[in-house]
Structure 1
Amino acid sequence: MCDLAPTAHLDNSKSLNGATQPDADGFFGSGDSQYGGAFLPPPLVPVMKEIDIEYNKIKHDPEFLSELIELRKRFVGRPSPIYECKNLSDKIGGARIYLKREDLNHTGSHKINHCLGEALLAKRMGKKKLIAETGAGQHGVALATVASLFQMECEIHMGELDIKKEWPNVRRMQVLGATVVPATEGGKSLKEAVDSAFMAYMSDTESMFFAIGSTVGPHPFPSMVRDFQAIVGYEAKQQFKELTGGLPDMCLACVGGGCNSLGLFSAFLDDDTVKLVGVEPAGRGLDKGEGHHSATLTLGKPAVLHGMKCYTLLNENGDPAAVHSCASGLDYPGVGPQHSWMKDMGRVKYETATDDEVISVFFELSRMEGIIPALESAHGLAYAMKIAKEMPTDAKLLVNMSGRGDKDLDYVCDKYGNKFGIGKDGMFAGAPKND
C-alpha cells in the first residue's frame, strides 16, 4: 500500500533537473521554446489570477490535503493497482507489459483525480456551479460525479458528434444531475466544446468555476491539473519498485491534451534511465492530411489556442485545423504547454498510433487479459505492443491504462464489429431488440 507524503503530489513545479516549471506567469521553457502563459480577454485576467492565488494557498494547506487524500482513498478507491499483462506479453515476446489501472477508479478513468481537486478548490472559493468541456465524456462524468458529491450545479459542454458517439456517458452525466449542452459549431467535437464552455463561463465567473479537463488552457490550469494527476506517477513508481525491484524501462501514455500522460510522467522526469513516450492519434494516417489525424506534436506548429501558447495543428489560413481520431478524448488540435516544452527539450519522445492499430489493440487486450480499454488508452498500449517484440525479455514497459472502454462499446462494435466476429445487433446477427 502506498504511503505518500501529503504534499509530494501537489507541488511538481521543480520537477525535471530542478528547473521551476512553469514560471510565475505560467510559461514553460524560454525563448523560442516557451509555451503556456495566459492569453486572455481582459475580463478573465483577474478571474484567472484569483484562481492562481487560491490554488497556491491550498496546495500546501494540511486541511485541504487531508480531505483530498481521504476522498482519494474512500471515494475514488486509490491507490489503483499495477497489473502485468502476462498473456499478452507471452504472446508478443520481448519486453513485459504492465498497466497502471486508472480504469479501475470510480467513474472509470483518471479524470476523477483532477475533478476532485478542482471541485474542492471551487468549494473553497465559494463557487456554486462547475462548468467544463468534455470529449469522450469521461471528464464530464467525473465532474458531474463530484458535483453531486459536493451538491453543486454542473454544466458540461460536449460536441454534437461526440454526444452521438459517446451516448452512454451522456446518460451517466444526466443521471448524475448535470446539464449537457451540445456544441454545434464547426467540427462539433472537443475544440468546439471548449469554445462553447468558455463563452458560457464568461457570462458568470462570479458563481461558476471552469474545471478545465486537461493540462491545457490559461495558467494556472496546465500546472494545476498536472499536480492533481501526478498521484498516478508517484503511486506507480513506488508500486513498480515493490513489484519488480526497480523502475520501468519505459513509461507510455496517450496524449491529447496531455493530463493522463503528465500524471504518469511527472514522477519519472528526473529518472534518466526511464524513457518517456507519449502516443498521439495518427487517425486514418498522417499522410491523409488535415482532418484525418490529431498528431499535434508530430505535425503541429507553435500558436496561441484557448488562452495558451502550444503546438497546434493549423490549416492553410493559420486557424486551428480540423482533426480526427477514433478516440473522442484525443481529437483536439492543441496540446498542453508542458508537453510542447518537453518535446523541444527532448525529454519525452512523441510517437503515433493509427485508428486501425488502436481498434486491433482494443480487442486484443479484451480477449487476452479480460480488460476492455478506452480507445484513448489503447493508443499507448498499441505503441507498447509494437515495440515490445523488438526489446529484450528483461525490459519492462509501463502503460497508463487511463480509462475503461464501456463508453466505446457501441461505437466500436457498430463500426468495426464484423471484422472481429461481432454482428451489429450484438453477439450474433438478428439479436432480439428490447421493446
Structure 2
Amino acid sequence: MAKTKRLQFLEAMLRWMSTVVIKKYRPDIVGISGSVGKTSTKEAVFTVLSSKFRVRKNLKNYNNEIGIPLTIIGAETGGRSILKWLVVFLKWLGIIILPYKYPEILVLEMGVDHPGDMKYLTSFIPIKVGILTNISPSHLEFFRDIDHIAGEKGKLIEAVSEEGLAVLNADDKKVLAIEDKSDAEITTFGFGDSAQVRASDVDFNYTNGKIEGLSFKLNYEGKFIPVRLNYILAKHQIYSVLAAVEAGNYFKINLVDAVTSLENYLAPPGRTNLIKGIKNSFIIDDTYNSSPASAVAALEVLKELRSIRKIVVLGDMLELGKYMEKGHREVGHKVFEIGTDLFFAVGERMEAAVKEVQDLGYPLQNIFYFENPVLAGKKLQQIIKEGDLILVKGSQGMRMEKIVEEVMADPQKAEDFLCRQSGEWRKKPFVKP
C-alpha cells in the first residue's frame, strides 16, 4: 500500500533530524537484523555494552522508518497529535543547541517488512557493527521468497563500514552466504565447529532440585569460558548471548567481563524467561505470542527440565486459519507425549487440544478448561504446590501474562518482567478473540 504524502513528509523530516544528531555526536552504531531473535540479541548486546559505555537501544518496539529516527533523537512518537510532534521537534532542537551527554553507542534493531526497508535505513544510518541473526520464511507477504528476504536483510551487512565488524550466524547457510558482500571484518557465532565464537556443553542448572537457568562453555580462540545464565531456559537464546559477546569484543570488552554482565540477562519479556512463582514454584513465561511450532518448542524445554510436578497452561493460538484444528491438536499431542501432570487450557480453540489429550488417554481429572486467563490464573493460584514448574504460553490476544502476574512471587515487578505492561495495555480488559 502506498504511503500517504503526510507519512512521506514525516519520514523525510525524521531522517533529516536524526542525520543531524548522528553528525553532531558521532555515536558508534550496532545494527541488528534477522528473521527471528532480533529483540533478544538487541537486549543481550545492550546488556554487555552498557556495562562499559553509555548506550541507548530502541525505545519500545521502535524498529522501523519512524521508530529508529525517534530512538536516535530520544523521543517518543507524536502519534496523531501535532502538539506532541512539536514536542519531538523541540527536544531535537535542544539536543542540537544545548550541551547534552549523548550515548556513545546506539544498539538498533532494524526491522524489514517490505523490500527496500533496509536499504532506506542504511542510507542515513552508518553501521559500525552489523549482526545478522538468521534468515527464515517470516514476513513473506511482501517478498517473493526466502532468498528475496535474505537479500534485503543482507544489505545491513553490506552497509557495515570497512573498519567495522560483521557478525554472522555460522549455523545458518543463508546468513553465511552474505559474507562475501561485506568489506568489513567478518566473525561468526553458533554451535557448529566452524563458528569463531562457539557454544558447547549446554546444561541446566539446579540448586536443591530447583531449576536456576542454564550454563554452557564459550569457546573462543582456544579459550574455554564457563557461562551461566540464571534466567534463561531456551537454548536458542544462546545465539543472542554469543552475538553480544562478539559485539563486546569489538569494543574492547574482554570475554570474562562480557560473560559476567550476562549472568542475570533476561530475554525480552514473555520469551521463555524463568520467573519465581508463589509457594517456591517456578514459571516459564513464554506469553509473548504462540504458534504450533513455538508451543511445541516450549514444551520440549519443559520436557528436558527436572521438577516434582509439571503444569502446562496454554492459551489459544490465533490466526491459524484452516490449520486451527490441526495445529491445536498437534500441541495437545505434545502435551500428552511429554508427560505433564496437569493441563490448563484457555480459550475455545484450545478445546481441540483438550480433545486430543482425552483421545490419547490423559486423565480427565488433570485437565482444567477456562474461557479466559483471569479465571485460569485464580484456579492455578489455588492448586500450585512447592516445587511446581509451570509453563504459560498463548497468543498475544489471549493475554496469558495475566496468569503469570497472578502466580508470580513478586507481582510488584510485573512491569519489569512481563510483556504488555504499558499503561495502555494494562487498561485493556481481556476480550475474547
TM-score, length-scaled by structure 2: 0.28
Q: Which structure is richer in relative contact order (CA contacts within 8 A, separation 6 or more)?
A: 1
Structure 1 length as normaliser, TM-score?
Answer: 0.28
Structure with higher Rg: it is: 2
Say which structure is richer in strand: 2
